[in-house]
Every structure is written in structure tokens, then in C-alpha cells.
Amino acid sequence: MIALLLRDIRLAMRAGGGFGLGLAFFLIVCTLVPFAIGPQPDLLARVAPGVLWLGALLACLLSLDRMLALDWEDGSLDLLATAPLPLEAVVLIKALAHWLTTGLPLVLAAPVLGVLLNLPVEGYGWLVLSLAVGTPALSIIGGFGAALTVGLKRGGLLLSLLVLPLYVPTLIFGAELARRGAEAQPTTTPLLMLAGITAGCLALLPLASAAALRVNLR
């Protein structure tokens, strides 16, 4: 399992995967928003949690199509399907590798980019917490979408259409948690909902992803 995780991380870093690409996209989105809506500190502070979360979501989406595509192209996926390691664990490890190379850099960069959007000081910790709790769900959902579309021509577009609706609850509660934290409002409800979504994805989607892979590999 560790060997597979390290392999996927190396592929993401040197084969045009998500490492660096998602972070650059996140930076571009957060840089362009102040130019688009104008230099109004109060307005920027109000939209900052939503913009940061939307940028992180779209950045995670960029590299999802490569989560399983490389293994499909070189035949490694067939070997993994016949290996002693269950397919559920394979999908989970690939989702973890995606989060480590895409989601984690976004979590660490979010406070810095929050400065560009005039995010209130009180909101930085809550923003990091919301992204740390919510972005694993984005990677797991993305793994499910990648399993459904693996092997399809132009599957990246279909993958985006499949997973974006599934991302909406995570986006809603993640942005709401960051917004409430920035405004010093109660944060228990969105935090529990966000954690529940991530836990539900962790428990159910690896099973669904493995089933989809078995169908596609027949």
C-alpha cells in the first residue's frame, strides 16, 4: 500500500499530474477576483470564503482525469485488479495521493491567498480547518468519477459533469464554515455537516468506485 502511494505521488509530481498545476490555478483565481469585482475591502471580505472554496474545488477538479488514466493506459490497472490488494483500497490510496499532491497544498496556501481577498483575521483558522476537513471528500468523490469514466475517450469532460453536482454539498458547508468563522458566528453545524460528508464519502465511495472499476475492466 505504501509503495502504491509513493508511486502515485511520484507520478503526480513528474507526469503532468496535479502537483503545482492546481496550486497555480488556485493562485490565478484568487488573483483575478479582486480585479473583477473591484478594490472594495468590505465586498472582498464578504466573498472571500466562497471564492477561496470555489477556487480550491476547481483546482482539485483539474487533475482528476489522471487519477486512473495513467494506470489504464500502461496496463497497471489490470495488474492492480488481480493483486492481493482489494480494489477498494487501491481507489482509496489513489484518492489519498491526489489529496496529498493537490488538496494539501491548497490547504496550506489558502491563508496566504486570503490576504489578497481581505479575509478577516478571525477567519484564517476556520478557512484552513474547513479545507482540511472538506478537501478529502473532493478527492474521494473525484476517485469515484474517475472510476466511472476510466477508459472513455474525452472522459475528462464527462468526469467534470459527473462530479461537479456531487461537490455542491461540500462547497456549501465548507464555505459556510469559513464564512461563519470569519464573522465570529456559531460554526458547529457546518463543521459537523462537512465532517459527516467526508466520513460518508470515505465509508461508501471506495466500494462504489471498486464496483465501477470491475465493470469497466471486464
> Which conformational region is residue 186 in: left (phi greater than 0), alpha (psi within -120 to 50 degrees), or beta?
beta
What one-letter code names the amino acid at 18?
G
Can you tell me which residue has the cell 472522459? 155
pLDDT at position 54: 93
Whether the Cβ atoms of residue 139 and residue 167 lie closer than 8 Å to each other: no
Whether the Cβ atoms of residue 97 and residue 28 lie closer than 8 Å to each other: no
pLDDT at position 155: 65
pLDDT at position 174: 96
pLDDT at position 15: 56
Whether the Cβ atoms of residue 69 and residue 144 lie closer than 8 Å to each other: no
The rounded average pLDDT for each run of 10 residues, N- to C-terminus, in the chain (218 residues) is: 78 64 88 85 90 92 80 76 82 90 91 89 93 95 89 76 93 95 92 96 93 83
